[in-house]
């Protein structure tokens, strides 16, 4: 696997938080002046940056490669309320990575005049290690299967054929309204599930003679996953108890597995015939085909550098900074 590209997006601070925050950003590092802790990333997007800049830096290439037949996955990772959903889904005033990707995907397809395409989309959430179809809300607790023809797939998941960005975004909005959200101390509308928004792109060369369909070009199939991960947070901070606490433990376990899988892949475990624990979480099992091999992967780490978040942001505790800083990432996450 190509080394995973990690960029960091720092959420804008209120004027009070900006005054009290001990953290500074310089170039591609985050640090506290006069302290040894320093974290390096491929790229840091500061407070003033817009989602478009983040999209163009890496995701756009992944979308373009997906149209050419290469699998791709983009994750938004970070503690609750750090801006993952803002980055992935966005708002009317600032569209997120998903709507931008959808628009570009159809633009790229339009330019491929010698090929014909069939595009499908699915939208699922993983909540407490159960897979729910966000396009068909009554399809719940779906199972993962594997077959020679289809590879790894979620049985019963709706794959809707789509022909325009508007149609995709309408379906996405429908799916969003069925997503599991809950209230935590840190975010009134906290996403409690991982969501995988998926575009499946099939194409083949246009037949010279459409009546006899004598093209011998193989069908290319690729998958583009845009993943909004549930918040990585500590129970005490979010005031989690009961249902929220159970959700939190599932979320943290699957994020840990994701970290281990990425670490193993970047160590070359798969190409050397070693074990990669994809099966330890539903998230990694579903994403397996789009993580290994020659797939393109990028992670956008959303962070907040407010003083109030300091315990989450110190090296010993902050999974976002600790797990994704460059020194760690040369060996993968975890
Ligand atoms: N870059 C940004 N610029 C302006 N507002 C932002 C930015 N990032 C996040 N916000 C705002 O902060 C709040 C929390 O963001 P968001 O819901 O995206 O967090 P999240 O990481 O998805 O949280 P959770 O894991 O709890 O779902 C929202 O009101 C959002 O609009």
Pair of tokens at residue 270: 């798969």
Query: Which of 45, 37, 42, 40 has its CA nearest to residue 10?
Result: 45
Cα-to-centroid distance, 245 and ligand 1 (Å): 21
Interval 222-266: pLDDT, tens: 999 999 998 876 544 445 555 555 666 777 788 888 888 877 877
How far is ligand 1, taken at its centre, from the CA of residue 65, in Å?
A: 29
Q: What's the rounded Cα separation, in Å, for the pair 3 and 208?
A: 40
Q: List phi, psi (to 5°) of 324.
A: -115, 0
| Substitution site in 86, 98, 193, 308 for ligand 1 pocket (most atoms within 8 Å of beta carbon) | 86
Partnered with residue 200 across adjacent β-strands are 120, 223
Q: What is the pLDDT of residues 56-80, one digit of tens each?
A: 998 999 999 999 999 999 999 888 8
80 is in an annotated binding site: yes
334 found inside a domain: no
Can you give the C-alpha Rg of the chain in angstroms? Answer: 20
d(CA 321, CA 327): 11
296 vs 63: CA distance, rounded Å: 9
In Å, what is the CA distance from 254 to each residue of 129, 247, 251? Answer: 8, 11, 5
| SS3 of the chain: helix, strand, coil, percent, to 5 | 35, 25, 40
> How far apart are alpha carbons 70 and 62 in whole angstroms?
8
81 is in an annotated binding site: yes
What is the greatest pairwise CA distance in the chain? Answer: 73
Residue 58 falls inside a structural domain: yes
**113, part of any domain:** yes
Evaluate if residue 299 carries a pLDDT over 60.
yes
How many angstroms does the Cα of residue 82 sit away from the middle of ligand 1?
5
Query: Ligand 1: residues within 6 Å at CB?
Result: 11-12, 78, 80-86, 187, 190-191, 230-231, 302
* CA gap 67, 65 in Å, rounded: 5
Mean per-residue pLDDT over the chain, rounded:
81
Question: Is residue 288 in a domain?
Answer: yes
Q: Give pLDDT tens digits for 75-126.
A: 998 888 889 989 999 998 999 999 999 999 999 999 999 999 999 999 999 9
Which range marks the domain in which residue 246 is found? 5-208+215-329
| Interface predicted TM-score (ipTM) of this complex, two decimals | 0.97
CATH of the domain at 60: 3.40.850.10
Is 85 marked as binding a ligand? Answer: yes
The total domain count for the chain is 1
Residue 14: closest CA among 304, 303, 310, 311: 304
In a domain, 68, yes or no: yes
- Within-domain flag for 27: yes
Q: Is residue 71 part of a domain?
A: yes
pLDDT digits (tens, 9 = 90+) for 3-30: 577 888 999 888 888 888 888 888 888 8
Could you identify the residue written with the tokens 């979480």? 281
Percent of the chain topping pLDDT 90? 42
pLDDT band at 319 (very low <50, low <70, confident <90, very high): very low
Look at the block and give the residue holding tokens 């959903």.
85
Known binding residue 307? Answer is no
Other Cβ atoms less than 10 A from the Cβ of 200: the count is 18
């Amino acid at each position: 696997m190509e080394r995973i590209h990690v960029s960091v997006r720092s959420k804008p601070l209120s004027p009070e938080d900006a005054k009290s925050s001990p953290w500074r950003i310089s170039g591609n590092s985050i640090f506290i002046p006069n302290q040894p802790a320093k974290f390096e990333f491929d790229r840091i997007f500061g407070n003033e940056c817009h989602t478009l800049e983040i999209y163009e830096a890496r995701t756009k290439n992944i979308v373009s490669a997906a149209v050419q037949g290469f699998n791709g996955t983009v994750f938004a990772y970070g503690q609750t309320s750090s801006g993952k959903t803002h980055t992935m889904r966005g708002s009317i005033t600032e569209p997120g990575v998903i709507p931008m990707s959808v628009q570009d995907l159809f633009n790229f397809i339009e330019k491929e005049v010698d090929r014909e395409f069939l595009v499908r989309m699915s939208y699922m959430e993983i909540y407490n290690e159960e897979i729910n179809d966000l396009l068909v809300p009554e399809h719940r607790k779906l199972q993962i299967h594997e077959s020679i023809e289809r590879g790894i797939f979620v049985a019963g998941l709706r794959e809707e054929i789509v022909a325009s960005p508007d149609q995709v975004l309408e379906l996405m909005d429908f799916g969003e309204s069925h997503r599991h959200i809950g209230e935590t101390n840190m975010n009134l509308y906290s996403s409690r599930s991982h969501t995988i928004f998926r575009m499946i792109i099939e194409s083949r060369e246009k037949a010279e003679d459409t009546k006899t369909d004598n093209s011998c070009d193989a069908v290319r199939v690729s998958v583009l996953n845009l993943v909004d991960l549930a918040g990585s947070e500590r129970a005490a901070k979010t005031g989690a108890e009961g249902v929220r606490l159970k959700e939190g433990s599932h979320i943290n376990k699957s994020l840990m597995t994701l970290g281990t899988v990425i670490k193993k892949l970047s160590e070359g475990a798969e190409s050397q015939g070693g074990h990669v624990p994809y099966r330890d979480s539903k998230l990694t099992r579903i994403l397996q085909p789009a993580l290994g091999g020659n797939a393109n992967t990028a992670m956008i780490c959303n962070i907040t550098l407010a003083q109030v978040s300091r315990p989450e942001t110190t090296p010993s505790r902050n999974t976002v900074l600790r797990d994704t800083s460059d020194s760690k990432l040369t060996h993968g996450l975890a």
